[in-house]
Structure 1
C-alpha cells in the first residue's frame, strides 16, 4: 500500500481546496435552485462540477496515487476548459444556445489526450504541444466572448466583470494546465500546488461574491435578449422624460444611422452614456444595445419587405439602408427575431392575398 507524509504546505493546500470545493458547491446549488433555469444555469453547473472534480484530482495525495496515469486528469481538465467556454458564452451572449459548433473541442481533444499519455515517448511531446495550443485557442475564444460586446452591454456589473474575467481566469487556467506537464522537484511541486489552490480559492470566492450581488436581470432573458422593464411609475420624473426622448429619437429614425453606438446616441441626445445605459436597461428591459437597435431595424425591415412597391429591391440594399454594414449581420439579426430569412419572409408576405 502506498503511503505518504503530509507536510504543512500539503495541509494548507488541502484546506484551500476544501474552501474552493465548498464555494463551488454552493454556486452549483444556487444555479440548480433557480426558478428561471436555462442555459446560463446549466452551463454554470457543468463548469462547477468539472471544477470540483479537477480540484480533487489535482490534489497532491491523488497525484501520488495516480502515479504517471495522467490521461484521467487531462480528460477532466479538458472538459473543464470546454465547460468554461460554454459558461462564458451563456454569461455574455444573451442569444446563446448549443449548436453543432459548440461541440467541436470534443472531436479534437480525445486523440490529443490519448496521444500525450499513451503514444510512444518520442511522440508524446508533440501531442502535448498540440493539446496546449488547442487550449490556447479555447481560452482566446473565452477572452473574445467576454470582451466582444462589452461596448454595447447595458448591464454595468457584467461590463466591469468582463475585464476582470478576461485577464485573470484564462491565463491562470493555462498556467495550471501547462505546469501539469512539467516534471519538477517534489518540494517545488508542493509549493506550486499550494499557489494554485490559493489563486483558485480567491477566484472562486470573488466570482461567487460577484454572482450573489448581481441583479436578477442577468438570469431573466427572452428571445430577443430583453427582460421585463421597470414600471414607469417606479421611475423618477426626470428618468421618464429622458426615456421618452430616447424612444422618440429612435422612432424618428435615428436607428437607421450606420454604426450607431451607445456613445453616439448619448451624444445625439446629450445624455451621459452611463445614464443612457441604465435607462435603456431598466426602463425598456434591454440587456444589450445592439438588441435594442436591431428591434427597431427589424420591425422596419418587415414593413419594407411586405411592401409590394419594394418587391424588386435587393435584400442587400435593404440591409444598407437600415444601417447594417453588410448583408450577413442583417440576415442573422432578422432570422434570430423572425425565425426565417429576409428572402423567405418577403416571399411569404407578398404571396398572401391582399385585402381590400
Structure 2
C-alpha cells in the first residue's frame, strides 16, 4: 500500500512536470523559460531516481541531478519575477558549491568517501535557504511589477511554495524523530506532487507571451534604445499627458524612492489604471524600467555635453535618481551596450 501511494504521487508529479517542461520549451526564448526547462528536467530525473531500483554506480549522478533542481529553482524564480536579473559569479559559485556538497554527501551515504560530520544537515539547511530566499525576492518586488498576471502569480507562488516547503520540512523532521521513514517518504512524494501541481497550474492559468519577456532583436549598442514589448495605442491620452509632464517637466524620476503608488497620487489616477497604462500602453514590464528609461535619457544628455565634461559620472547618476553606482553602471551597460565612461569619451571626442 505504501509503495503504491509513493508510486502514485511520483507518477503524477512526473506527468505534471513534463507538461510544465512543454510550456517552458514552447515559451519565447528567455532566461526564465530556459531555467524553467532545466528545473523541470532535473526534477523529473530526480523523481525517477526516487523510484525503487537496483543500486548502480550512476546513482550519485542521479542524486546530483535531483539536487540541481534546488539552485535552479532559486535562479528560475529570480529570473521569472525580475526581468533585469542576470546570474552573477556569486550566484553561479553558490550553486556550484551546493552541488559539490550534495555530491559528496551522496558519496558519503554510500560509504565511498570519508564522512564529514554535519554535512547532511548543512546541505539540508542550504537547500532551505535557497528556497526561502527565492520566496522573499518574489514577494519583495511585487509592487514594482506591472505585468498584472505575473503580479497576481507572485502571491500564489509565495503562498503555495511556502506551504510546500513547510510540508517537506515537517515530514523530514517527523521522519527523523520517529524513525517512520516510509511515511516520511510518502509525505515527501506528496509534497513533490503538490509543488509540480502549483507550478503547472500557474503556467497554464496565465498568458505565456505576457509573463515571459520577449527576446530582444539584438544587443543594444551605441545610442540604441532598449528593446521593449510592442506598444499599442495609448490607453488614456490625458493620463499620458500627465505622466509625460511629470517625467519631462517635473523630473519626478529623480527621486530614487519613487513608487507606482506615489506616481498614481501625483497624477490623481487609480493605481491600477497607471499600472495598466505604463505596461499596456507604453510597453514597460516593471516600474524601475520605466523610471530608468527617463534617468538614462538625462544621463546620456549630460555625458555628451561638453559643458559638463568635468562633472563626475557618479554625480550625474545620483542627480538623475539612481540609488547606487553599481545599479547605474549595470542599467547603463544593459541599455546602451557600453560603460558610461566609454560613452562619454566617444561623444566628447567626436
Normalising by structure 1, we get a TM-score of: 0.82
Q: 1:200 to 1:130 in 2, by over 3 A?
A: closer
Look up the match of 1:207: 199
* Cα pair 2:138 2:158 within 8 Å, conserved: yes
Question: Which of 239, 246, 266 is the matching residue for 1:242?
Answer: 239
Residues 1:154 and 2:146 are matched in the alignment: yes
- Asked if 2 retains the 8 angstrom alpha-carbon contact of 1:95 and 1:225, the reply is no
Q: For structure 1, which segment, 138-147 or 49-58, has the greater mean C-alpha deviation from structure 2 after superposition?
A: 138-147
How much has 1:254 moved relative to structure 2?
2.1
1:85 matched to 2:69? The reply is: no
1:129 maps onto 2:121 in alignment: yes
Whether the 8 Å contact between 1:116 and 1:125 is mirrored in structure 2 is no
CA distance in 2, matches of 1:117, 1:208: 29
Q: Are the aligned partners of 1:16 and 1:201 in contact in 2 as well (CA < 8 Å)?
A: yes
Map of 2:345 onto structure 1: 347
1:154 positional shift: 0.7
1:225–1:287 CA contact under 8 A, matched in 2: no
Q: Please identify the structure whose Cα radius of gyration is greater.
A: 1
Equivalent position of 1:94 in the other structure: 83
* Equivalent of residue 298 in structure 1, options 296, 319, 339: 296
Question: In structure 1, how many angstroms separate the alpha carbons of the residues matched to 2:157 and 2:317?
Answer: 35
C-alpha change, 1:90 and 1:37, in structure 2 (3 Å) is same
Q: Report deviation, 1:351.
A: 0.6
Cα separation, 2, equivalents of 1:57 and 1:174: 23
Change (3 A) 1:210 1:115: closer
User: Which of the numbers 227, 231, 234 marks the counterpart of 2:233?
Assistant: 231
- Aligned pair partner of 1:40 in 18, 32, 35: 32
Q: Is the 8 A contact 2:20 2:199 kept in 1?
A: no
User: Is contact 2:168–2:187 with CA below 8 Å preserved after alignment?
Assistant: no
Deviation at 1:138, TM superposition (A): 2.1
Question: Displacement of 1:240 after TM fit?
Answer: 3.3
Conserved? CA contact 1:256–1:322, under 8 Å: yes
The range that moved more, 195-204 or 69-78, is 69-78
Q: Structure 1 residues 254, 261: closer, same or farther in 2, change over 3 A?
A: same
Structure 2 CA distance for aligned equivalents of residues 75 and 180 of structure 1: 22
**Inter-partner Cα distance in structure 1 for 2:292 and 2:157:** 28
Q: Once the 2 structures are TM-superposed, how far is the Cα of residue 348 of structure 1 from its aligned partner?
A: 1.1
Report the CA distance shift for 1:247/1:217 in structure 2 as closer, same or farther (over 3 A). farther
TM-superposed deviation, 1:288? 0.6
- Residues 125-182 of structure 1 show CA distances to partners (whole Å, capped at 9, x for unaligned) of 3221222233233224312431342221112222232233234426635864893996
**CA shift at 1:12, angstroms?**
2.8
CA distance in 1, matches of 2:33, 2:72: 12
Deviation at 1:114, TM superposition (A): 4.4
Query: Hey, which bits of structure 1, 4+ residues long, moved more than 3 A?
Result: 69-74, 96-102, 117-125, 170-178, 180-186, 222-226
CA deviation string 1:296-342 (max 9, x = no partner): 11011101111111111111211221122332222222122112222
Alignment-derived partner of residue 109 in structure 1: 98
Gaps of 5+ in 2: 217-225
- 2:60–2:103: 8 Å Cα contact kept in structure 1? yes
What is the deviation of 1:93?
A: 1.8
Structure 1 residue runs of 5 or longer lacking an equivalent are 1-6
Paired residues, what number? 335
CA contact (8 A) 2:168 2:191 kept: no
State the match for 2:279 in structure 1. 281
1:138 paired to 2:130: yes
Q: Secondary structure at the match of 1:125?
A: coil
CA distance in structure 1 between the aligned counterparts of 2:343 and 2:47, rounded to whole angstroms: 51
Encode CA deviations 1:194-224: one digit per residue, 9 max, x unaligned: 3333333233223222212323222233555
Q: Which moved more, 1:161-170 or 1:258-267?
A: 161-170
> How large is the RMSD of aligned CA atoms in angstroms?
3.1
1:19 partnered with 2:12: yes
Give distance in 2, aligned partners of 1:116 and 1:242: 58
TM-score, scaled to structure 2: 0.84
Q: Are 1:320 and 1:326, in contact at CA under 8 Å, matched by a contact in 2?
A: yes
Aligned position for 2:46 = 54
Is 2:318 aligned against 1:320? yes
